[in-house]
Structure 1
C-alpha cells in the first residue's frame, strides 16, 4: 500500500494502550521506587532476622547498659560460692598449721611426716574448692535463666533490674535446674557408652589392627554426634524454657524444632562464641593464674601460702564467670530469638510488646 493509497474498507487504526504506545525515552508515568523501610529497633536488636554482628553488638550493649542484672548477678553468685573454700581453707589452716613447701601442701618441712589428719585437712581444702565450684555452677544456671529474661526485655526496649530478672524466673527455677541435670546426665551417658565400646573392642580384639580401625572410624563419628547433640538438643532449651510457658521436655522439643534446617548457622555462631568467651576468660585470668601458680611453685610457707593459692583460684573463677556466663547466655538467647523470627514471625510479637503498630 502506497503512502497516499486510501485504507481498505472497515479498517481503523489500532487502539493506543500501554503495550502499543510509541517508545519514549522519558515516559511521563515513571517514578523512582520507594526506598526500603528500615527494620524497627525499639531496643537492643533490629526486629528482623539477625546477623552475627547484630547478635554480638546486642550482647555487648545489653551487658554494658544493664551490668547489674548480667555481670553483677554472675559476680554475686560466683563470689558467694567461692566464699566456702576461702572460709574452709582459713579454718583448716589455723587448725592444722598448713603450709606449702617445694610446690606442694605440707604441714612441716618434711612431706613424709604428714599424718592422716593432715592429709585429711588438705583433702578438705581441695574438696571445698570442688564444692564451691559445684555451687557456682548451680548458681550460674539460675543466672542464665535471669539473663534470658533480660535479653528478651532488651529486645523490646525494656530494662530489667536485678530483682525483676530474679522475679521473672519464679516458677521455672527448679525446672531449669532439672533441665540442666537432665542434659548433663544425657551427655555423661553418651560419653560413658562410647568409652564402654572401647573397652569391649580392646577386650575382644586379638591384635592392634582392630582398635586402630575402630578409632579411625568411630572418633570422627562420635565427635560429629556430640556436635549434633550440642546444637539440636543442648543449646536452646534453656531460653525456650524461660521465655515460653512450657516444661522441661517441651523445651527440649522446642530447641530441636527451632534448629531444624539451621544447624550449620547455629553451630557456627555457637562454636565461635564459645571460643571467643574461653579466650577472653583465659586472658582476663592469666595474671591471676600466674600469681597463683607462683605461690604454689614458690612454696610460700605457712597458712598464708595455702590461703593465697585458694584465693587466686577463687578470684580467677569469679572473673571468668563475670564475663563468660553473661556473654554466652546472651548470644544463645539472641539465637533463639533470631530463629523464632525466621520461622515464626516472632518479630511481629516483639513489635506488639514494644508498642509498635505495623503499617
Structure 2
C-alpha cells in the first residue's frame, strides 16, 4: 500500500489553492454548507458524502481497479466452486449418479425407492455444493477486508494491486474471520432466543388468544430490534477493524459509536444497497440457473444432468459473488469513511495521506 502508485485514470485532480480545514474541535457535521466544493484527489470528494457520491465512487473503484475487487471475488468463488465440480467428477467415477438428477427434480420424494448408492451419490453431490458454498463465504470475508483497504486507498487517489490489497490485511485476517463468526453467532443467538420464547408460549398458553396477542406485540418489536442490531452492531465493524489499529471488540464498539445519531441514514443506505445487490446478483445469475434447469427439464438425465446441474450452480454462484461482494463492501466502507468525516474530521487525515496538506 505504497503512496508511490499513480491514481487510476478518470479521477479528478485537486483544485489549486490550500485545502479548507474545519475549525478546531469541529467536524463537517457542524458546517452550514456541507456539500460545498471540496478536494477530490481520488474516488470521493473529501467532505460528507451523499448517497450518489457513494454509489458513484463504488462503481468507479470497481471499474478502475477490477483485479483487486471483482477479480479477487471471482478468484475466491471459482476456487471454492471447483470443489463440487471435482467432487462430482470423482463420485461419477466411483458411483452410479444416473438417478441423482431425478432425485433432485423430485425434491427427494423418490428416496424411498432409491438404492443406498443412489442416496450416497445424492448426498455426496449436494454435500460438496454446500461445502463449496461455505468455503466461498469464508473466502469472501477475506475479500471484504481487502476491498476495505482498496476503497480507503482510492479515497486518496491511490490504486492497490491485488497483491498489495492482500498484504494490507496481514495481521488482521484471523481477527476478521473471528469478528464475522462473533457477529454471526450473536445473530443466531438472537433468533434462537426469540424462537424459544415462542416455544414457551405455545406450551404454556391455554388458548389461541395468548399466541396471537404475543405475536402481534413481539413480532414488530423483534423486527425493529433486529434491524437496530444490524445497523448499530453488525454493519460497520469490518471496515473499522481493517482500517484502524483495534481488535474485534474494539471494531464492534467503533461501529456502534459511529452510527450513533445516524441510524436512519445508515439504515436507509444499507437497505437500499442490499436490495440493489440482491436484485442485480439474481439478474446476472438467473440466465445460467434457468439454462441448467431447462436442460434438466428438457430431457438431460443420468450423469450428464448431474454435471449440468452442478456446473450451473457453480457458475451462477461465481457470477453473483463477482458483483455482490465488491459492491456491498465498497458502499459499507464508504459509509464508514463518511461517518468519520462527519464526526471526526477524517477528511483532514485523508488530505494528509493524499499529500494535500502537511502532517
Q: TM-score, normalised by structure 1?
A: 0.86
Which residue in 2 is equivalent to 1:68?
Answer: 67
Match of residue 83 from structure 2: 84
- Cα deviation for residue 283 of structure 1 reads 0.6
TM-score (norm 2): 0.86
Residue 298 of structure 1: CA displacement?
Answer: 3.7
Q: Deviations over 1:202-231 (max 9, x none)?
A: 000111111011111111001001100000
Conserved in 2, the CA contact under 8 Å of 1:105 and 1:306? Answer: no
8 Å contact kept, 1:94–1:303? no
In the other structure, the counterpart of 1:98 is: 97
Deviation beyond 4 Å, 4+ runs, structure 1:
100-103, 110-113
The CA distance in 2 between the partners of 1:300 and 1:276, in whole Å, is 34
Give, in whole Å, the separation in 1 of the partners of 2:232 and 2:260.
8
User: Structure 1 residues 306 and 343, CA, compared in 2 at 3 Å: closer, same or farther?
Assistant: same
Deviation (angstroms), 1:103: 4.4
* Deviating more after overlay: 267-276 vs 92-101: 92-101
Q: Which residue of 2 aligns with 1:280?
A: 280
In 2, Cα distance between equivalents of 1:182 and 1:290: 36
Rounded to whole Å, the distance in 2 between the matches of 1:314 and 1:271 is 27
Is the 8 Å Cα contact of residues 102 and 298 (structure 1) preserved in structure 2?
no
Gap regions ≥5 residues in structure 2: 1-34
Partner of 1:185: 185
Judge conservation of contact 2:241–2:247 (CA < 8 Å) in 1: yes
Displacement of 1:295: 3.3
Q: Tell me the equivalent position of 1:248.
A: 248
Structure 1: state its 5+ residue gaps.
1-35
Tell me, yes or no, if the aligned pair for 2:278 and 2:324 is still in contact at 8 Å: yes
Correspondence 1:318-337 to 2 at 5 A: 318-337=318-337
1:38-63 deviation digits (Å, cap 9, x = unpaired)? 20000000000000000000000000
The farther-off stretch of 86-95 and 58-67 is: 86-95
| CA–CA distance in structure 1, aligned partners of residues 183 and 100 of structure 2 | 42
Query: How far 1:100 moved relative to its partner?
Result: 4.6
Taking the aligned partners of 2:256 and 2:183, their CA distance within structure 1 comes to 13
* Post-superposition offset of 1:140: 0.1
Moved more, 120-129 or 260-269: 120-129
Contact kept in structure 2, 1:100 and 1:305, CA below 8 Å: no
Match of 1:213 in 2: 213
> Is the 8 Å Cα contact of residues 100 and 299 (structure 1) preserved in structure 2?
no
Structure having the higher Rg: 1
- CA offsets, 1:86-117, max 9 Å, x none? 011111122222125884359xxx97653213
CA distance in 1, matches of 2:100, 2:142: 40
Aligned 8 A contact 1:233 1:255 in 2: yes
**Cα distance in 1 for residues equivalent to 2:101 and 2:61:** 47
Contact kept? 2:289, 2:316, Cα under 8 Å: yes
Query: Deviation of residue 303 (structure 1)?
Result: 1.1
Contact kept? 2:70, 2:323, Cα under 8 Å: yes
Change (3 A) 1:53 1:105: closer
Return the alpha-carbon distance in structure 2 between the equivalents of residues 102 and 91 of structure 1: 16
Query: How far apart in 2 are the matches of 1:104 and 1:113?
Result: 10
Size of the aligned set, in residue pairs, is 320
Greater alpha carbon shift after TM alignment, 208-217 vs 150-159: 208-217
Q: 1:102 & 1:158 partners in 2: Cα distance?
A: 49
